[in-house]
């Protein structure tokens, strides 16, 4: 495999790596010298079914290019599946340096049509599917740190513009992706002492998950033109965040699409009024109106009219 070798000697586990962004990340990490655990349950875009094929195909592709990879088809939304992801890395390669949490699927509905099963399934795969691998990887790295083998570990979580701004018809997905940002910030603060850096990425690319949401706006370009929505455009930032070169970068959220990288800046205090005593409802309302008039206009929710 070719590349600069920025991840040579490192071992990375990538969830949801059988297709789309996860596949692009796994191939890019391998091209830069990383050894890869390719996790994918092989489900349909709505989470139905399962197949070992996608994970195995990507692992085979990495090996065919001269890299090292193993397939993992466990369900990372279960304790056993998440624990076995870490165990697979240790058994196959003797270490784990990077976890890229990427697995997910969609069950889009307007809120009044969104049933409990669709809510639970999407929260489970995105939010719980980030927490459990993170928790088991962190436990391993904490044990390493306490044993005097200080890790230089990385976690890259996958959020979305829907988690930053909301997206009409994706209440479950938006809530899960917003939760991932909160999880990232807490994990970055808690795990720094063990040599673990955690960042979040809000990517935009043409994948199975976005082809319906952005139908007609993410078509492949003509031959020879830059494919702005190719998943591979997002992966270089993931590779860098996975590497030792990203030392000191933690608790941050990035947007990445096409040739653009943006550092996202979250909630910060805006206009404030403090009367040093209790407000009446009318006074609170008057103050709130004045503060809103002085505040910036929020970015619109995706899909809002």
174 catalytic? Reply is no
What is the reported pLDDT for 214? 47
Catalytic choice (84, 159, 167, 173): 173
286 catalytic? Reply is no
What is the reported pLDDT for 209? 60
Low-confidence ranges of the chain (pLDDT < 50): 214-215
CATH number of the domain where residue 176 is located: 3.40.50.720
160 catalytic? Reply is yes
Query: How many structural domains comprise the chain?
Result: 1
Judge whether 272 lies within some domain: no
Judge whether 6 lies within some domain: no
Answer whether 46's CB lies under 8 Å from 106's CB: yes
Judge whether 66 lies within some domain: yes
Catalytic choice (167, 177, 242, 246): 177
Answer whether 10's CB lies under 8 Å from 243's CB: yes
What is the reported pLDDT for 43? 74
User: Which positions ≥6 away from 225 have C-beta within 8 Å?
Assistant: none
Judge whether 4 lies within some domain: no
**Cα–Cα distance list, 159 to 121, 144, 256 (Å):** 17, 28, 11
What is the reported pLDDT for 3? 74
Question: Rounded to a whole number, what is the largest CA-CA distance in the chain?
Answer: 71
Catalytic choice (160, 167, 174, 243): 160
Judge whether 186 lies within some domain: yes
Separation of alpha carbons 38 and 14, rounded Å: 6
Using the Cα atoms of residue 168, residue 237, residue 93 and residue 180 in order, give the sign of their dihedral: negative
Judge whether 288 lies within some domain: no
Answer whether 17's CB lies under 8 Å from 38's CB: yes
Domain that holds residue 209: 11-264
3-state secondary structure of 68: coil
């Amino acid at each position: 495999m070719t590349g600069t070798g920025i991840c040579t000697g490192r071992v990375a586990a990538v969830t949801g790596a059988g297709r789309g962004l996860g596949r692009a990340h796994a191939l890019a990490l391998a091209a830069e010298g990383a050894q890869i655990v390719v996790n994918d349950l092989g489900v349909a875009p709505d989470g139905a079914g399962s197949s070992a094929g996608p994970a195995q195909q990507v692992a085979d592709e990495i090996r065919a290019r001269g890299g090292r990879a193993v397939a993992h088809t466990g369900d990372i939304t279960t304790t056993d599946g998440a624990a076995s992801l870490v165990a697979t890395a240790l058994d196959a390669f003797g270490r784990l340096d990077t976890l890229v949490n990427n697995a997910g699927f969609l069950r889009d509905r307007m809120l009044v049509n969104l049933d409990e099963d669709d809510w639970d399934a999407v929260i489970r795969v995105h939010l719980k599917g980030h927490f459990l691998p993170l928790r088991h990887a962190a436990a391993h790295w904490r044990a390493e740190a306490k044993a005097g083998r200080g890790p230089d570990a990385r976690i890259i979580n996958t959020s979305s513009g829907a988690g930053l701004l909301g997206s009409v018809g994706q209440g479950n997905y938006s809530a899960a992706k917003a939760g991932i940002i909160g999880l990232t910030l807490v994990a970055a603060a808690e795990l720094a002492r063990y040599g673990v850096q955690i960042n979040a990425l809000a990517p935009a690319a043409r994948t199975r998950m976005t082809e319906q949401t952005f139908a007609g706006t993410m078509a492949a370009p003509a031959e020879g033109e830059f494919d702005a929505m190719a998943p591979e455009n997002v992966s270089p930032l993931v590779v860098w965040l996975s590497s030792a070169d990203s030392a000191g970068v933690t608790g941050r959220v990035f947007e990445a699409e096409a040739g653009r990288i943006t550092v996202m800046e979250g909630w910060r205090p805006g206009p404030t009024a403090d009367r040093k005593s209790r407000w009446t409802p009318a006074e609170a309302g008057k103050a709130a109106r004045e503060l809103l008039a002085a505040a910036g206009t929020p970015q619109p929710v995706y899909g809002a009219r």
